[in-house]
Structure 1
Amino acid sequence: MRDSINQEDIDFYNEYGFVRIHSLLTPEETERLRMHQYNALEQRGKFRYPDRDILGEDNPVYERMFLQRLNLWRDYEPIREFTLSPRIAKIAAELAGVDAMRLWHDAAFIKKGWANPTSWHFDAAYWSFNSPGGITVWVALTDARPDNGGLYFMPGSHREIDFCLPIFSNDHVAGLFDLPGYQHWREREAVSLPLKAGDCTFHSGLTLHGSGINMTPHQRAAWVCAYMPDGSVYNGKPNVLPDDYVKNLSVGDYLRNNDFNPVVYRKS
């Protein structure tokens, strides 16, 4: 498993809001994570969260885009080898320019054969904290290409987007671009980053991204992990936080519960 990047990677990330890292995982690690995720999904079933009765099938629009199950690490111990890996979190911290990262959540993202595109969006709009250092790693567990639902990014969007949650229609891939303040993105060129299994991208929580249709009969599998800089505070959006925790939070409280958001890397 890689645990280092170079200054060129950091400069690219700062400029464009994303970066591709080849061979984050070895082939053996990639296969192990793929099997852990498969087993975790079998155990989880239709529940999107480990501690809430929210079924994925309750929102068929999203289910036609991808199968998403969050916080697998909380109810499937073997996957914690990757979710709590300080080596991956170290890269995230170096790209984001922070000294310590807490786990925000992990997730499985499976785009089934012939699945719909994933609408343009940005992760930070949904998170419970507002920090420019929030970052997501997206690890390909199968090859990801433009024809099977690989990711697209809008370069430099992280420097123009704020943390407000936009409400837009998911009935077409560019629903976000119907909104005032986002319409100019229709004229911008997106970038596709094909990935081999074991490769990954890191992207800022403020970077616009989406994915195309899976035009194959085979699923495109990915594992995602989002990180929150240590010292972040609650913004009032519950997101993935458990209900019992949220009811005792006030806006401005530090998010430092080690049971839900443990520190996974701290610079020594």
Structure 2
Amino acid sequence: MENYPRFELSDPLGREPLEFFAKHGFLHFNNFISRETVSDIRAEIRVIEDRCVERQVEKINGVPIKYGTDVDGRKIIQRFPFSSQQSPLLSEFIQDPRFQSLFPLLGDDAENPRVGHNEKDGLVINHYINTELSKFIRMGWHTDCLRDVFYGKKIMPMLNVGIHLTDAKPGQGGLRILPGTHKQTIFGVLFKKPYFLDHRPDKNEVGLQTRAGDLTVHDGRLWHRVAQSTVMGEQSRRQVMYVPIISGAYAIKNEKSPTLIYQHFQNMVR
């Protein structure tokens, strides 16, 4: 399935992407944003990152910031939650009405579908770099709906939408998914693999070969991981933003929101 179909995002979504998502639990859209917009976003990320480093911000809305070191020794943020709350440009970006065309993927019964810019972890920027000093080079198998379990809530329909800011080249690692696992039972959601500890390739996994400006979306119940790059240094750099599309009751987070137990161990993930 490495030659899975890529689509162009339209409103409404066409029959083919809807059927593909229902069966496999993920979609890949080409050229969601231009290369120029990608450059503007990456420049903005650098600005808000430097500001947080200078202010020694540890958490945003209870969610820890994951710091690391770049190839030049500069301190960087490698996992940046609620980043849109730090930037008018990013805040405006996630209000793009095209995101609403993805709402039908939640299902016909989804209540209050919305972009969760101030729920879950908000707009998260992941910055992977494979060096000896990096704190974020891979991520083990997991699903995104585990957060609902930690909140003591019923697992609700959720989408994780990725906006890719760098090209994913062969050998550079990147997103690996297990198609169809969004249909598993609750037992499969919780116990199919050891969460975050298991980095082993799966014979059924599919690697998404994205380019800067592409958009991907996967069901929150889908098992996925981020593979480590086989190259080192600058060539291994990957940046991607993720924002949740969610439904159900609102659960807005703020500066008084508690840090969940599993978030205390986030910095152990490398």
TM-score, structure 2 as length reference:
0.70
Higher mean displacement: 189-198 or 48-57 = 48-57
Find the counterpart in structure 2 of residue 193 from structure 1: 208
Structure 1: how far apart are the matches of 2:63 and 2:17? 40
1:152-167 counterparts in 2 under 5 A? 152-162=176-186
1:1-268 counterparts in 2 under 5 A? 4=11, 5-45=13-53, 47=57, 49-52=59-62, 54-56=64-66, 67-88=78-99, 90-97=100-107, 98=110, 100-103=113-116, 104=119, 105-114=122-131, 116-127=137-148, 128=151, 130-162=154-186, 168=194, 170-174=196-200, 188-216=203-231, 217-218=233-234, 219-229=237-247, 231-232=248-249, 241-242=253-254, 244=256
Asked if 2 retains the 8 angstrom alpha-carbon contact of 1:144 and 1:220, the reply is yes
Change (3 A) 1:139 1:161: farther
Asked if 1 retains the 8 angstrom alpha-carbon contact of 2:9 and 2:29, the reply is no
One-letter identity of the residue aligned with 2:239: A
The SS at the match of 2:47 is helix
One-letter identity of the residue aligned with 1:154: L
Find the counterpart in structure 1 of residue 73 from structure 2: none
Structure 2: how far apart are the matches of 1:196 and 1:54? 28
Asked if 1 retains the 8 angstrom alpha-carbon contact of 2:176 and 2:225, the reply is yes
Deviation, structure 1 residue 161: 4.7
- Specify every segment of 5 or more residues in structure 2 that has no aligned partner in the other structure, as ranges: 1-7, 69-76, 260-270
The SS at the match of 2:246 is strand
One-letter identity of the residue aligned with 2:17: D
The SS at the match of 2:93 is helix
Structure 2: how far apart are the matches of 1:173 and 1:83? 31
Deviation, structure 1 residue 86: 2.6
Change (3 A) 1:122 1:138: same
Aligned-pair Cα RMSD in Å = 3.2
Deviation, structure 1 residue 84: 2.6
Change (3 A) 1:212 1:131: same
Structure 2: how far apart are the matches of 1:69 and 1:157? 27
One-letter identity of the residue aligned with 1:140: H
Deviation, structure 1 residue 148: 1.5
One-letter identity of the residue aligned with 1:173: H
Higher mean displacement: 39-48 or 116-125 = 39-48
Identity %: 18
TM-score, structure 1 as length reference:
0.71
